[in-house]
């Protein structure tokens, strides 16, 4: 298991530094930094502040994912499915929470609203070519594998 130091700046006294729920958790919980409860109506998206900014290490990205409990119990998940925090971003981490349910949902101050996974990535050099190498799969698209 790799560990890296990630510098965090609290932008608000109420902010909670991200925490891991267990020893082997991949994602650190992000917390709502609110003065009062926020209601997200069915089908609505609301930006929820975390009150923290961070320095994601160069060569890594912070990927913001839904928390399974919040998504399954309240229907709340990031509107963009997966948020990407680049290593050169220094602004406040915010989560655009979308209510996928048919009823309003409440977000409480200090509630865990998403999780962030810090992961390495490759920067690709895209090269235009006339032909691509052939594979057994070829151009088979959505649902094409596993079919006989």
Domain count, the chain: 1
Q: How far apart are CA 116 and CA 119, in angstroms?
A: 9
- What CATH number has the domain bearing residue 103? 2.70.40.10
- Residue 129, in any domain of the structure: no
pLDDT of residue 140: 78
Residue 73 C-alpha from the chain's centroid? 18
* % of residues, the chain, pLDDT over 70: 96
Q: What pLDDT score was predicted for residue 37?
A: 98
Mean pLDDT value across residues 51-66: 97
pLDDT value of position 144 = 67
For residue 2, what pLDDT band results from cuts at 50, 70 and 90? confident
In a domain, 84, yes or no: yes
pTM for the full predicted model? 0.89
Rounded to 5°, the CA angle 34-38-41 comes to 155
From the number of C-beta atoms within 10 Å of its C-beta (0-12, 13-18, 19+), residue 18 rates as buried
Domain housing 27: 7-120
């Amino acid at each position: 298991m790799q560990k890296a130091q990630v510098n965090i700046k609290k932008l608000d006294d109420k902010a909670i530094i991200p925490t891991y729920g267990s020893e082997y958790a991949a994602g650190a919980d992000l917390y709502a930094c609110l003065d009062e409860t926020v209601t997200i109506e069915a089908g609505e998206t609301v930006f929820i502040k975390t009150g923290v900014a961070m320095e994601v290490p160069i060569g890594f990205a912070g990927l913001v994912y839904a928390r399974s409990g919040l998504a399954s119990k309240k229907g709340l998940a990031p509107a963009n499915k997966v948020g990407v925090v680049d290593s050169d971003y220094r602004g406040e981490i915010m989560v655009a929470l979308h209510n996928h349910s048919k009823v309003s949902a409440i977000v409480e101050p200090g509630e865990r609203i998403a999780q962030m996974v810090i992961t390495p990535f490759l920067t690709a050099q895209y090269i235009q070519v006339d032909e691509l190498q052939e594979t057994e799969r070829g151009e088979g698209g959505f649902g094409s594998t596993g079919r006989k």
